[in-house]
Amino acid sequence: MQRVSGINELTAAVEAAKKDGLEVAFVPTMGALHEGHLSLIKEARRHAAFVVVSIFVNPLQFGAGEDFEKYPRAIEEDAEKLDGIGVSVLFTPTVNDLYRGNLNVSESAGHIGELYEGSARPDHFDGMLTVVARLFEAVKPNYAVFGAKDAQQVYLVKQLAAQKFTGIEIIVAPTIRESNGLALSSRNRYLSPADHKVAEHISAALRSAQQAASTPGGSPQSVLQAATTEMTKAPEAKLDYIALVDADTFEAVNDGFTGRAILLIAAVVGETRLIDNTEITF
Ligand SMILES: Nc1ncnc2c1ncn2[C@@H]1O[C@H](COP(=O)(O)OP(=O)(O)OP(=O)(O)O)[C@@H](O)[C@H]1O
Ligand SMILES: CC(C)(CO)[C@@H](O)C(=O)[O-]
Ligand code: BAL
């Protein structure tokens, strides 16, 4: 695995691979790597022989008072995890290099970017799309792999790619969970053992919702009710939202909806904001 921080060096490595006839798959991350990230890399390997992983904690996607400073940074540990699993390049740009001295938002997530996560984290999605655009321009991959855990991010990145990066195919990989159901997340390391138990109710609520959907008469309303009932068993979790959205538009669905929907949950446990989701077909 080659470790690269300059964009010119990255471009040279990627161009050499393409010249050799290899396709390039890209996995953007913010580091503090866990099995969820490693599963994205496995997925990337299924698509392309040359895999670029980036680790970059993007200041533009954190709001004032969020955890940018304390976000876990473990670059040497991360590099060890990536060694020997088929990663060709680990790209760790500096802020100056990636933004070329222009640390400003250049992408807009529009109306959907203001809902759900965007409502709790104003400007988060504009900042996320901006760094994804900068990274796509730097890496120029054939494929980019994102985790389904961040469902609204996936929706918005697909829109960005459709509008501005039509040569990049966006691949979505399933959410990796602990055996108790909790979705892996770098922020889980902020959870105390007691918080951890509380956090398990989030995935339990998603399972309850799936069960409600598969019982005769299962409807958007019964699904939302089932998830809400489960979350009331964990009053320590400060529920932000439970929402059911059309997977194709990210707009809320009503009773009578048919097709693919995504049930989204966000809650703050202790000091930590957690999100999770599950796809439900009606
Ligand atoms: N449990 C998971 N399963 C699969 N993919 C995941 C999982 N957790 C994160 N990812 C994906 O990894 C990529 C990088 O995410 P990121 O580095 O922010 O990790 P994270 O664990 O989501 O951290 P955070 O605590 O910031 O949410 C994203 O595409 C994200 O969706
Ligand atoms: C896509 C991403 C790496 C952009 O900073 C980040 O939002 C993440 O880790 O999900
Ligand atoms: N995994 C999404 C990135 C963020 O929370 O900022």
CB distance 13 to ligand 2 below 6 Å:
no
CB distance 117 to ligand 3 below 6 Å:
no
Q: Are residues 147 and 115 in the same domain?
A: yes
- Atom of ligand 3 lying closest to residue 147 CA: 1
Q: Are residues 77 and 192 in the same domain?
A: no
* Cα distances (angstroms) measured from residue 202 to each of 33, 91, 257: 22, 33, 24
Active-site residue 196, yes or no?
A: no
pLDDT at 58: 98
CB distance 150 to ligand 2 below 6 Å:
yes
Ligand 2: centre distance to CA 234 (Å): 29
* Cα distances (angstroms) measured from residue 228 to each of 60, 95, 202, 242: 33, 41, 10, 7
pLDDT at 72: 94
Protein residue closest via CA to atom 29 of ligand 1: 146
DSSP state of 112: G
Total of domains in the chain: 2
- From 138, 173, 208, give the residue that closes a domain: 173
pLDDT at 151: 98
Out of 37, 124, 196, 201, which one is annotated catalytic? 37
User: Are the C-beta atoms of 15 and 52 separated by less than 8 Å?
Assistant: no
pLDDT at 32: 97
pTM of the model: 0.98
Token readout for 182 is 């909790």
Please, what are the averages of pLDDT over each run of 10 residues along the chain (282 residues)?
A: 98 98 98 98 98 98 95 97 97 96 96 98 97 98 98 98 98 98 96 98 98 96 98 98 98 95 98 97 96
Q: Are residues 198 and 269 in the same domain?
A: yes
Token readout for 12 is 């040279």
- From 173, 195, 211, give the residue that closes a domain: 173
- Atom of ligand 2 lying closest to residue 135 CA: 4
Ligand 1: centre distance to CA 160 (Å): 19
